[in-house]
Amino acid sequence: MKLVLLRHGESLWNQENRFTGWTDVPLTEKGRQEAVEAGRLLKTEKILFDVCYTSYLKRAIQTLNLVLQEMDCEWLPVYKDWKLNERHYGGLQGLNKSETAKEYGEEQVKIWRRSYDVRPPFLEIEDDRNPGKLVQYRDVPKEKLPLAESLKDTAERVNFYFDSAIAVQLKKEKNVLVTAHGNSLRALIMRLEHLTPEQILDLNLPTGIPIVYELNQELEVEQRKYLGDPVWIKEKINQVAAQGRKKEADYG
């Protein structure tokens, strides 16, 4: 079976180097082009998907739609779930990463962005950014909606959804496409590749680059590869890693 993980294309707040989290921002034109290119790469790879999954956030949904258009596979079933949302960055949402690094230091920002069990500052319950106040989550019990999350928190909900939905399809020998976010996919990669909290700290996922996993019946990884030019992929990974430095990164 094949499981393909795809981080959404560049969003407006990626472009502005802001902590995005659950803020529902759209793709930029560059992000749309990245999504189309991801669809072209997947079409060239000749993977026939059976089912697709994405989050409640429009940057992931828009990316998936563009990929399926490019592959001429818009008929595929798509399931959306908030458990595939990006990690909730709490009170950091909307802040520029480089400016935050100047104020708090690069090491603190790296911990907030990439550590396993450290949560960023919490939102206040009265804050309009509280997901409990947003219509998308009206059917989700409020006690399940976060005001800030660590990667560990994110992994718990992502792994629950993987076990209850995605893994069920994979065990039926279905090929699955998951279009989601940097941290929700990092959590899933941590599980698939048995990474430690220390190893996950330095894992940076570029936008718009498909990662193809070949899995056996036990859902163990037999092969893993990025699609695209290796030099280009490495450059994009380095650009993501640079986001939390004091100097403004060229790309978010």
pLDDT of 250 over the 80 cut: no
- At 8-22, the pLDDT tens digits run 999 999 999 999 999
Q: Looking at this protein, which amino acid is placed at residue 186?
A: R
**For 114-128, what is each residue's pLDDT tens digit?**
789 999 999 999 999
User: Each residue of 52-86: b (16+ CB within 10 Å) or e?
Assistant: bbbbbbbbbbbbbbbbbebbebeeeeeeebbbbbb
> What positions carry a catalytic annotation?
8, 86
* Angle (CA) 98 87 99, round 5°: 10
Contact, 53 vs 178, CB < 8 A? yes
Inform me whether the pLDDT recorded for 49 exceeds 50.
yes
Model's pTM, two decimal places? Answer: 0.92
- Residue 51, classed as helix, strand or coil, is strand
Share of the chain above pLDDT 90, in %: 79
Amino acid at 149: E
pLDDT tens for each residue of 38-47: 999 999 999 9
Q: Are strands 78-80 and 2-7 parallel, antiparallel or unpaired?
A: unpaired
Closest by Cα among 39, 10, 49, 26 to 210: 39
